[in-house]
């Protein structure tokens, strides 16, 4: 009798990347089981913003249209597709998102989703059906050298690289992960989808947060937190320059949408959540030279002494050279060592700081200050 094919749970979002990931695995002989992560909108007060609304042009994921596309792709590939109700788990992500904005921080819910759901809860499903691996359409690569631990690296397509949002998955999961499109460029992925006749071949990429329409996160936060959101916009001396309707509308480094007039360009320098204050100043006052990250997760042996690396502080930015110093309590400090042209950009509390050696992900944490 032939040996049984390895079974893999494939997270299928209804996008082209996860569609081609499933196709690559089918072609490689895996026994693929597609899963569409489904969540229902949490209740909000009548008349408030409906979470998970899908207005025209919204490029998120997890909508009814995405579910239908995932079903069509699964049928085309000849694999089963099961909806997995993760309403309660998505609720946890939304709660974290709201709480972070309430603390004056700028959250990244996609990182939480990857760690808690795609490479978290989906392993529970994989275990339940006897699957050895969980696969997604992320643009990142996994290397498993003989006799050594798995390593997470940037995707071949550096313009699409998503290793940054996978840092928090955990080293114990890497050996059971598959990232089939990490060695492909986006154009190759779309070409494969076209050749296979997949309905997602020309589908726009997901670019928005899946549980709130674009540009509406502040309304969600205000509805969840309640109470007065009004506060002051001040300069670093405390002089009042204007007022705002909620700190959740701001992030460190922001220049547009401040609602104040002045002779010079002003940027958000910091957010004082306890006082509902937004502090603004000139560009040179925006923090870019040093950060401290907490809740650090290393994907290899934790370092014990300072070392040189590159640190990336936002998904769409490049990593900047820094000296990284491990600190007590699962924390590290990064001091950026390059010149003005090689800074990481504005450092926003609540965002991930991910540490790289060339294209290898060493680990990362959440910026606390």
Burial (CB < 10 A; 0-12, 13-18, 19+), residue 319, is buried
Q: Tokens 């998970």 identify what position? A: 52
**Out of 210, 310, 313, 330, which one is annotated catalytic?**
210
The secondary structure of residue 272, as a DSSP letter, is E
In three-state secondary structure terms, 156 is coil
Tokens read off for 198:
């997949």
Is-contact 271 104, C-beta < 8 A? yes
What is the Cα 357 distance to its own chain's centre? Answer: 20
Tokens read off for 357:
């050696």
Q: Is 210 a catalytic residue?
A: yes
Is-contact 92 238, C-beta < 8 A? no
Is-contact 242 256, C-beta < 8 A? no
Quick one: which of 210, 169, 195, 206 has its CA closest to 15? 206
Q: Is 113 a catalytic residue?
A: yes
Q: Round to whole Å and give the CA distance between 57 and 223.
A: 24
Q: Which residues of 20-54 are buried (b: 16+ CB within 10 A; e: fewer)?
A: bbbbbbbeeebbbbbbbbbbeebeeeeeebebbeb
**Out of 61, 110, 113, 310, which one is annotated catalytic?**
113
Beta strands in 225-266 (DSSP E): 231-234, 240-244
The secondary structure of residue 129, as a DSSP letter, is T
Tokens read off for 293:
């990250």
The secondary structure of residue 362, as a DSSP letter, is E
Cite the active site residues.
Answer: 113, 210
């Amino acid at each position: 009798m032939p040996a049984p094919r390895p079974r893999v749970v494939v997270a299928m979002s209804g996008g082209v990347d996860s569609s081609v990931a499933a196709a690559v695995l089918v072609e490689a002989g895996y026994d693929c089981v597609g899963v569409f992560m489904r969540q229902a909108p949490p209740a909000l007060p009548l008349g408030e913003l409906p979470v998970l609304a899908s207005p025209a042009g919204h490029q998120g994921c997890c909508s009814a249209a995405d579910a239908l596309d995932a079903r069509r792709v699964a049928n085309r590939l000849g694999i089963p597709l099961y909806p997995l109700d993760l309403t309660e788990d998505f609720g946890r992500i939304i709660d974290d998102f709201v709480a972070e904005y309430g603390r004056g921080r700028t959250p990244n819910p996609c990182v939480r989703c990857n760690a808690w759901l795609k490479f978290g809860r989906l392993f529970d499903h994989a275990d339940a059906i006897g699957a050895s691996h969980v696969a997604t359409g992320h643009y990142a690569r996994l290397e498993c050298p003989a006799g050594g631990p798995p390593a997470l690296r940037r995707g071949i397509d550096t313009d699409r690289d998503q290793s940054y949002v996978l840092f928090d998955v955990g080293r114990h999961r890497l050996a059971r992960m598959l990232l089939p499109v990490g060695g492909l460029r986006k154009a190759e992925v779309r070409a494969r989808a076209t050749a296979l006749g997949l309905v997602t071949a020309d589908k726009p990429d997901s670019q928005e947060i899946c549980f709130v329409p674009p540009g509406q996160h502040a309304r969600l936060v205000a509805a969840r937190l309640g109470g007065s959101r009004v506060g002051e916009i001040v300069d670093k001396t405390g002089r009042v320059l204007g007022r705002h309707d909620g700190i959740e509308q701001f992030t460190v480094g922001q220049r547009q949408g401040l609602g104040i007039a002045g002779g010079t360009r002003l940027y958000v320098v910091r957010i004082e959540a306890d006082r509902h204050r937004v502090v603004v100043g000139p560009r040179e006052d925006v923090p870019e030279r040093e950060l401290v990250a907490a809740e650090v997760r290393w994907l290899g042996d934790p370092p014990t002494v300072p070392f040189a690396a590159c640190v990336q502080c936002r998904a769409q930015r490049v990593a900047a050279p820094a000296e990284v110093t491990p600190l007590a309590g699962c924390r590290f400090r990064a001091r950026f060592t390059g010149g003005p042209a090689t800074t990481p950009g504005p450092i926003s509390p609540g965002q991930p700081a991910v540490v790289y050696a060339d294209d290898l992900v060493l680990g990362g944490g959440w910026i606390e200050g």
